[in-house]
Structure 1
Amino acid sequence: MAQVQPKVRQQSSAQIDQYLAEVVGKYNIPGISVAVIKNDKVIHRNNYGQANIEYNIPISNKSIFRIYSLTKTIIVTGAFQLIEQNKLSLEDPISKYLHDLPVSWNSVQVKHLVTHSSGLPDIVNYEQLPENEAREKVFADAIQFEKGAKFEYNQTNFWLLQKIIEMISKQDIETFVKENQFNKDDKEVFFSTDSRDIISNRVTQYSNFATGKMQIELPNNGNYLSSCNGLNITMEAFIQWDSKFNTNKLINEKSKKTMWEIFPYTKSDYKFSFGWDQNIVNGHTSYGFSGGRRAAYRNFPKDNLSIIFLANGIGSNVDIVNIVNRIAYFVDNDIVDYNFLALETLQKTVKENISNLRDTFVSLKKDQKYSNVKWEEHLNTIGYTLLYQDKNVADALTVFNINAREYPKSSNAFDSLAEAYEVNNDTKNALLNYTKSMELNTDPTYLARVNKKIKELKEISK
């Protein structure tokens, strides 16, 4: 049996390579670095694509990635280090550490920051302003909802958490994180929230969402949001962090258990723990986070499996956590996300021969394994990818028509079909399907929007 294991690993590694080579092209991702760690051993590590397209520079082991909101996973681990030292408590009101807050903020507790349940207004609305100006504006904004009520992702939470950590540790956040979680002299780990900074070996950031074509993306988020989205790291440094985390060298097992407890929101059943989201795939639970639609970390504690996914851009509407779960499947075939597998199967059918799409759809839908698949949502996603990314209106119409036939009571299906006809300058069918969508959706806001659209189309068609 021991002789078979290396072959199994070699096979799964080859499957991961093949899959990620397809992912680079399929989702228009310039470059990727991936590591798979099983039982504290790296069983797969490879780089795909380019760190810089213009100069044809490939991703390498020296490549440094900005991990955006995945930074929060590192920050919350630092917070739990302070909790272990009895210097901080989840139950502490933030006013214990921060004394210049608006009165209405004072009762918010640390636990509300790390679970994004504070209800505070979001400082990200002012991220292009200097901190003192952004602070003044966000302090003047209204509380959004009662603390603890629900999950609402908010950069103010980790902006304040950074200030608390810095106050307790008497260190800036970069020094605190590097000394407590990395090698403090490691030049492969640093904070920079400005992608315009010229830094040796840092990958170039790309996106096509602003213009529809791939361009260099240079987000500058303000250095006071370092704990929100500012960590930059190599794959090797992240692998070392994962090893320390899994062997309890960063925080102990009791702290992990607390950190991964699902927070009891009072008005929501959203599954989120203290700084980590929970994801269950076919009974296998993982915890992790993602950032900037290009970095993700998943930890499957009962499977002793970790996956690190780092990229420098994305050009298609895909949740990279789904890609990570697919990588997990090649390591353990029981970790199968049938929802995402169904989407990829439909996408493959469209690419190979769209005339087979409905037959593939019907066949998959009959299979009990796919009973929880979001079929309508998947067809809609494929349709919009064809319509706007691929500029293939004819195939988009085929997909949207299938969706409308399969889900005749869905206002959204007919709305999407109408939009595709509108793009195709088929005003008659656009009007017909917008009208149908209104019959199925009586929401006043929606009706007002579609009525306005119908009026515009009728004016154009005169």
Structure 2
Amino acid sequence: MKQLRIVILLISPLLCFSQNNSEINAKLNDYIEHLIKRQGIPGVSLAIVKDGETIYEKNFGYANIEHQVPISDESIFRVYSLTKPIVSVGVFQLIEEKKIALDDAVSKYITDLPLSWNGIKIAHLLSHSSGLPDMSPISEFKDLTEEQAKNKVFQQGLKFESGEKYDYNQTGFWILQKIIENVTDESLADFILKNQFYSGKNTFFSSDSRDIVRNRVTPYFPFEKGTLMIDHSYLQGSYAHSKNGLNITLDDFISWDKKLNADKFLNKESKKLMWQSFPFTKSNKSFAYGWDKIMVNNYESYGFSGSLCTAYRVFPENNLSIIFLSNGLTKWYNIDNIINHIASLVDGDVLDINNLAFETVLRTTYENEDFSAKYQTIKNNPIFENNNFEAHLNDVGYFWLFGLSNPKKAINVFELNTKEHPKSWNAFDSLAEAYEKNGNADKAKINYLKAINLNPNEEYKSKTSVKIDNLKG
């Protein structure tokens, strides 16, 4: 009954959305505590700003696991790539002052670029559509000086014609940093801090997690060993500041958000331009100038995330902002979906029913070994009418298979999906893949054959037959 009450807690308030702050707090506390356990997150600071007021602000978990130091109001987080929208605001401040323009070629401000780069515009840098070679991965650049990093990318050609498509790029923000510094005759850090964080007490730039900084949280990631470990990632020097250098407390971020939404940094026209979709010539990607543009239940939202562990999102029509800061994770998760779900717990207008269904099924499988009966309760709830539960179960199964690295649990979810949808070749294909990953070649073959029998596509049959032949056992 306890687990069923949790599912009802997630669903019932959204059927008739009338909440006070205590109800919102209870739902947010419950969800974040669950998320921390599910994904192995060391610590979280979360804030919700609604109609210009902070309606929720709370710290969870540890800033340092070894010494059991809890997250506090003084905790300082590296926000990693979440730095980029703050840099974008700085760029638009210069645009508003008519010191630069979106359509300006970067060669107007930087004279030693390769000739093939001269047609790239500031708009291309902000929209990640420049086609530039990338100052990535970090492992290849972390020990390079700025001059060495520059020489490394200068020797490479453009990947595609500027403006064609979105291609996440670190080099573009390094060039934006050089433009800002050349135009203002200030370091990027000084310019951003002076013009956006003038009252911030614990905001600074550092792209090196090895620096000893009082109250800065310890970062923890599984990327090198596959298990949680201290991860002191770094890039040499200040040239990486525009890409990932901002460090900030939750309170300072809240203050920044309120100023942004009160048009203290930019006037309404400049902010509207900043959040305008970039017109990619060969892609339908929805992206603004330095900001992700995400539609949630037909409402526009803008934001960004950093290193899978920090995120910011603003819903202008709803006067709602979400700030999520953490210091790592043990298991991968989609942070945009997490922000969508948090938003729905606060404001029913931005409820994404599909995302709620996915989160509810995922949580039920996480908290119950035998979850089939509870799944039926979820599926039959009127709020989820016409939802594609075949897709939800498949997504949850893959979340267990790859995100939470538990093939046995994934098998249980996929088996339920084949029982619920016995004519779905995709359900059997997914189950076969889970058996294969779990080392059970015989059951993988059986389910791949079932998928072949249900899928008339000859190309699929051919590819899957090869996969079966390659299975050992």
Equivalent position of 1:248 in the other structure: 263
TM-score by length of 2: 0.86
Equivalent position of 1:297 in the other structure: 312
Equivalent position of 2:165 in the other structure: 150
- 1:382 counterpart letter in structure 2: V
* Distance verdict in 2 for CA 1:361–1:166, change over 3 Å: farther
- Whole-Å Cα distance in 1 between the matches of residues 51 and 77 of structure 2? 25
- Cα shift at 1:284: 2.5
* Distance verdict in 2 for CA 1:12–1:366, change over 3 Å: closer
- Residue 268 (structure 1) aligned with residue 286 (structure 2): no
| Alignment check: 8 A CA contact 1:438 1:447 kept | no
| Alignment check: 8 A CA contact 2:396 2:413 kept | yes
Equivalent position of 1:398 in the other structure: 412
- Residue 106 (structure 1) aligned with residue 106 (structure 2): no
- Cα shift at 1:331: 2.5
- Residue 29 (structure 1) aligned with residue 44 (structure 2): no
* Distance verdict in 2 for CA 1:60–1:407, change over 3 Å: farther
| Alignment check: 8 A CA contact 1:212 1:389 kept | no
Range with greater deviation from structure 2 (164-173 or 336-345): 336-345
- Cα shift at 1:13: 2.2
* Distance verdict in 2 for CA 1:455–1:130, change over 3 Å: farther
For 2:175, what is the secondary structure of its paired residue?
helix
- Whole-Å Cα distance in 2 between the matches of residues 13 and 157 of structure 1? 40
For 1:163, what is the secondary structure of its paired residue?
helix
- 2:396 counterpart letter in structure 1: I
- 1:395 counterpart letter in structure 2: K
The one of 227, 230, 237 aligned to 1:216:
230
Equivalent position of 1:9 in the other structure: 21
The one of 393, 396, 399 aligned to 1:379:
393
For 1:310, what is the secondary structure of its paired residue?
strand
Deviation per CA, 1:21-50: give whole Å up to 9, x if none. 222212211111111112221111111111
- Whole-Å Cα distance in 1 between the matches of residues 449 and 303 of structure 2? 43
- Whole-Å Cα distance in 1 between the matches of residues 124 and 425 of structure 2? 37
- Cα shift at 1:456: 5.2
Equivalent position of 1:196 in the other structure: 210
- Whole-Å Cα distance in 1 between the matches of residues 115 and 380 of structure 2? 54
- Whole-Å Cα distance in 1 between the matches of residues 28 and 374 of structure 2? 28
Report the identity percentage.
Answer: 45
Deviation per CA, 1:253-303: give whole Å up to 9, x if none. 110111111111111111111111112222322111111111111111111
For 1:123, what is the secondary structure of its paired residue?
coil
For 1:65, what is the secondary structure of its paired residue?
strand
Equivalent position of 1:61 in the other structure: 73
Equivalent position of 1:3 in the other structure: none
TM-score by length of 1: 0.88
* Distance verdict in 2 for CA 1:425–1:329, change over 3 Å: closer
Equivalent position of 1:324 in the other structure: 339
* Distance verdict in 2 for CA 1:189–1:443, change over 3 Å: farther
Gaps spanning 5+ residues in structure 1: where? 1-5
Range with greater deviation from structure 2 (29-38 or 17-26): 17-26
- Whole-Å Cα distance in 2 between the matches of residues 88 and 267 of structure 1? 27
- Cα shift at 1:338: 1.5
| Alignment check: 8 A CA contact 1:342 1:373 kept | no
- Residue 178 (structure 1) aligned with residue 193 (structure 2): yes
* Distance verdict in 2 for CA 1:317–1:380, change over 3 Å: farther
- Cα shift at 1:404: 5.2
Equivalent position of 2:88 in the other structure: 76
Range with greater deviation from structure 2 (140-149 or 173-182): 140-149
- Residue 350 (structure 1) aligned with residue 365 (structure 2): yes
- Whole-Å Cα distance in 1 between the matches of residues 105 and 145 of structure 2? 26
- 1:181 counterpart letter in structure 2: Q
Gaps spanning 5+ residues in structure 2: where? 1-17
- Whole-Å Cα distance in 2 between the matches of residues 295 and 222 of structure 1? 22
| Alignment check: 8 A CA contact 1:386 1:392 kept | yes
* Distance verdict in 2 for CA 1:18–1:442, change over 3 Å: same
The one of 327, 331, 334 aligned to 1:312:
327
* Distance verdict in 2 for CA 1:104–1:36, change over 3 Å: same
Q: Would you say how many aligned residue pairs link Structure 1 and Structure 2?
A: 449
Equivalent position of 1:230 in the other structure: 245
The one of 14, 35, 39 aligned to 2:51:
39
- Whole-Å Cα distance in 2 between the matches of residues 355 and 270 of structure 1? 40
- Cα shift at 1:88: 0.7
- Whole-Å Cα distance in 1 between the matches of residues 245 and 412 of structure 2? 43
- Whole-Å Cα distance in 2 between the matches of residues 353 and 44 of structure 1? 30
| Alignment check: 8 A CA contact 1:112 1:148 kept | yes
| Alignment check: 8 A CA contact 2:364 2:374 kept | no
- 1:257 counterpart letter in structure 2: K
- Cα shift at 1:386: 3.8
- 1:39 counterpart letter in structure 2: D
* Distance verdict in 2 for CA 1:329–1:362, change over 3 Å: closer
State the superposition RMSD in angstroms: 2.9
* Distance verdict in 2 for CA 1:171–1:352, change over 3 Å: closer
- Cα shift at 1:381: 4.3
Range with greater deviation from structure 2 (77-86 or 147-156): 147-156
Range with greater deviation from structure 2 (119-128 or 223-232): 119-128
| Alignment check: 8 A CA contact 2:221 2:329 kept | yes
